[in-house]
Copies of this chain bind each other. A is one copy, B any other.
Amino acid sequence: SHSIDLAVIPGDGIGQEVVAQGLKVLSAVLPEDVKLETKEYDFGAKRYHATGETLTDADLDALKQHDAILLGAIGDPSVPSGVLERGFLLKLRFAFDHHVNLRPSKLLPGVATPLAGQPEIDFVVVREGTEGPYTGNGGTIRKGTEHEVATEVSVNTAYGVERVVRDAFARAQARPRKKLTLVHKNNVLTFAGHLWTNVFAKVAAEFPEVTTDYLHVDAATIFLVTDPARFDVIVTDNLFGDIITDLAAAVSGGIGVAASGNINPSGEFPSMFEPVHGSAPDIAGQGKADPTATVLSVALLLRHLGYEAGAARIEAAVAADLSERGDAEKAARTTDEIGDALAVRVAS
């Protein structure tokens, strides 16, 4: 018999509501012989206001004991921009070496897209999660004066780039189309660009079956709206990945259905799964949030822990749920009703 020991971080805003549905569906999908244990953590704006803490060493020690982490959303307008992002979200990704940030984009039947002609969209972005301009390197001099200078340093290492590029090649190799696109801006960011391009070429030699392709990030945004079907797997740096995955989510059904995993492939630290959307404080507590992205993040979590059948069941349930309902019906359902519907489907 197996067990899953899950850290649950509902967080701020709609985080609470969507995580509740994610757990509901998770309980429903697990076979009886798999024991689910969950422990809730109170990270986010409330705790920050109460204690000034975002994520302490003791917190990290506690989180480390779990098999995986499910996160709702972190962020609130009452907290200055950057405090929770740098102090919690990014701190956790860096502390647990979540270097593979996995963001699948699949336009499911019956799901609205802003693009004309309902194109076929089914790709996954492997975003580097621990380097690039996200390291917090940089600084400010003469702050607040007319002579202020602020720098941000993008740090890229052969070690960091190679492991994520290799992960992306392996994922491409395992998919039917076997195609991998590197997205960067190597004509301008030539130092980091050369590193990414050379490492990519080197690892490509190990995967002769994978077709490769390179796009500048600006050109990639064009293709994401004019020809998203061309993409299979994309590998890219932390910042470019942040940008193109929001765009990818927008064209493939919106952030209401965009799931993500912050993965530590070695298993040295627990991986974290979260919807791409934020805490949406404007609609929090009203039952208006779409929990689908969280439920799909639970599927990624299950797959990561080796429960492929459960993951596939959830994905099939979401696909069926979305395709069988009209837009009006979809818009009218509460957060809870969507969670219930998905829980029923995965159980049956």
Contact = CB atoms under 8 A, between A and B. Distances in A.
A243 B225 CA distance: 13
B138 A185 contact: no
A242 B158 contact: no
Contacts of A114: 115-116, 225-226
Interface string A146-159: 11111111111111
A222 B247 contact: yes
A198 interface: yes
One complex includes copies of this chain to the number of 2
A186 interface: yes
Contacts of A192: 138, 150-152
Contacts of A218: 242-243, 245-247
Contact of A198 (B144, B221, B222): B144
Contact of A185 (B140, B149, B197, B239): B239
Contact of A81 (B90, B193, B219): B193
A190 interface: yes
Contact of A247 (B81, B113, B225): B225
Contacts of A82: 186-188, 190, 193-194
Contacts of A246: 218-219, 221-222
A225 B225 contact: yes
Nearest to A248: B221
Interface string A117-140: 100000000000000011010111
A151 B189 CA distance: 9
A191 B226 contact: no
A55 interface: no
Contacts of A145: 158
A85 interface: yes
Nearest to A118: B116
Contacts of A134: 188
Contacts of A9: none
A296 B139 CA distance: 40
Contacts of A245: 218
Contacts of A247: 218, 221-222, 224-225, 247
Contacts of A70: none
Contacts of A242: 185, 188, 217-218
Contacts of A255: 222
A250 interface: yes
Interface in A238-264: 239, 242-247, 249-251, 254-255
A151 B151 contact: no
Given A152-B154, A218-B243, A225-B251, 9 more contacts: A114-B116, A115-B116, A136-B190, A138-B189, A147-B158, A150-B156, A151-B192, A222-B249, A225-B250
5 contacts: A133-B188, A133-B189, A138-B189, A150-B195, A247-B247
